């Protein structure tokens, strides 16, 4: 059996990062506890998703567990059980043949934005069955945009400015401890001229690519974003993006620095730089992923002149 949260929970607490959680490989008929958790710097709500390995057409949750994340000073954040919708931002109705009933655990509001770059955290889980699972991640260090040279909020890791419609080389600084970067671009309020030519234009459209080395910190924007979608979209759309970001379109650009645990959990499929790798970063009586990411985001709202932020610094 090869089953994981996969596409249905691909946007679990990662928003536009475009990253998928691990597929978990288990022996046939095994009933394993599966853990899915990725700490995200800048988020006020962290999550842990627990479920059993697929049994027929049913994905059972694991309610009543004790879930906590412990910081470097021994500060323990106890997670609260919540509804599945609090963890899953995808549309689960697409899984018509699977009864998906995982258990969601969220950090309390009182914990605030407790995940810090460059810091190690440990995951502790104990189920009502007596199963014990552990995980450990060191959050990558901060990285900053170099081109365009726009500062981001130190807490949210977000900047607002209007991106240039001309092609340019996007670059950012290295993130210490990261194993790679996932770059995503969402474009909305665009494509009317292309539709007039009979081209199907998703609105919004989400494009994703990856840099598989911590030193690989630049790419041609926006032409080199969309590696993962190149076989799914009308090629005329990708040709259009070679000319630059569509004028008057809204856009959200995200550069995510990923730790080794998260990087190993998503290797495979379209992100397969060194062969299919599914390494569990959870030990004990469970398998799964306990990783961490640091986002870097620009929100550009050119399609709304009254709310449009100032232009991003010109590349130079």
- 161 located within any domain: no
Higher pLDDT, residue 311 or 90 = 311
- Name the pLDDT band for 230 (thresholds 50, 70, 90): confident
38-87 pLDDT, tens digit per residue, is 999 999 999 999 998 766 567 788 999 999 999 988 999 999 999 988 88
Is position 194 within any domain? no
Does 40 reside within a domain? yes
pLDDT at 12: 37
Q: What range does the domain containing 14 cover?
A: 2-139+279-286
Query: What is the number of structural domains in the chain?
Result: 1
In a domain, residue 127? The reply is yes
Secondary structure in 3-state letters for the chain:
CEEECHHHHCCCCCHHHCCCCCEEECCCCCCCEEEEEEEECCCCCCEEEEEECCECCEEEECCCCEEEEECCCCCEEECEEECHHHCCCCCHHHCCCCEEECEEEECCHHHCCCCCCCCEEEEEEECCCCCEEEEEEECCCCCCEEECCCCCCCCCCEEECECCCCCEEEEECCCCCCCEEEEEEEEECCCHHHHCCCCCCCCCEEEEEEECCCCCCEEEECCCCCHHHCCCCCHHHHHHHCCCCCCCCEEEEEEEEECHHHHHHHCECCECECECCCCCCEEECEEEEEEEEECCEEEEECCCCCCCCCECCCCC
Is residue 313 one of the residues assigned to a domain?
A: no
pLDDT digits (tens, 9 = 90+) for 6-20: 323 333 334 444 344
| Residue 123 lies inside a defined structural domain of this protein | yes
* Residue 260 placed within a domain: no
Answering whether pTM is above 0.75, one says yes
Residues 184-219 have pLDDT tens digits of 999 998 888 888 888 888 888 899 998 888 899 999
* pLDDT tens track for 112-170: 999 999 999 999 999 999 999 999 999 999 999 999 999 999 999 999 999 999 999 99
What is the mean pLDDT of the segment spanning 20-46?
74
- pLDDT confidence of residue 19: 43
Report if residue 55 sits inside a domain.
yes
């Amino acid at each position: 059996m090869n089953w994981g949260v996969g596409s249905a929970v691909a946007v679990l607490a990662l928003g536009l990062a475009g990253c998928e959680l691990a597929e978990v490989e288990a022996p046939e008929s095994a009933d394993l506890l599966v853990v899915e958790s990725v700490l995200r710097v800048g988020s006020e709500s962290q999550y842990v998703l627990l479920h059993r390995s697929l049994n027929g057409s049913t994905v059972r949750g694991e309610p009543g567990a004790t879930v906590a994340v412990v910081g470097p000073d021994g500060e323990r954040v106890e997670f609260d059980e919540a509804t599945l919708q609090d963890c899953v931002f995808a549309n689960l109705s697409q899984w018509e043949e699977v009864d998906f009933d995982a258990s969601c655990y969220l950090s309390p509001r009182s914990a605030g934005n407790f995940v810090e770059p460059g810091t190690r955290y440990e995951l502790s889980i104990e189920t009502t069955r007596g199963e014990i699972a552990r995980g450990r991640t060191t959050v990558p260090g901060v990285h900053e945009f170099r081109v365009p040279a726009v500062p981001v909020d130190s807490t949210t890791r977000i900047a607002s400015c209007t991106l240039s419609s001309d092609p340019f080389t996007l670059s950012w600084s290295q993130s210490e401890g990261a194993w790679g970067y996932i770059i995503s671009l969402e474009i909305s309020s665009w494509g009317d001229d292309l539709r007039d030519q009979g081209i199907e234009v998703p609105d919004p459209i989400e494009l994703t690519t990856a840099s598989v080395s911590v030193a690989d910190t630049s790419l041609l924007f926006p032409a080199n974003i969309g590696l993962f979608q190149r076989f799914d979209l009308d090629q005329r759309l990708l040709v259009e993006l070679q000319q630059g970001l569509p004028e008057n379109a809204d856009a959200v650009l995200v550069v995510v620095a990923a730790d080794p645990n998260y990087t190993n959990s998503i290797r495979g499929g379209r992100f397969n730089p060194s062969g299919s790798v599914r390494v569990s970063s959870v030990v004990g009586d469970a398998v799964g992923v306990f990783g961490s990411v640091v986002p870097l985001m620009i929100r550009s709202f050119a399609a709304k002149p009254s709310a449009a932020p100032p232009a991003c610094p010109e590349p130079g």
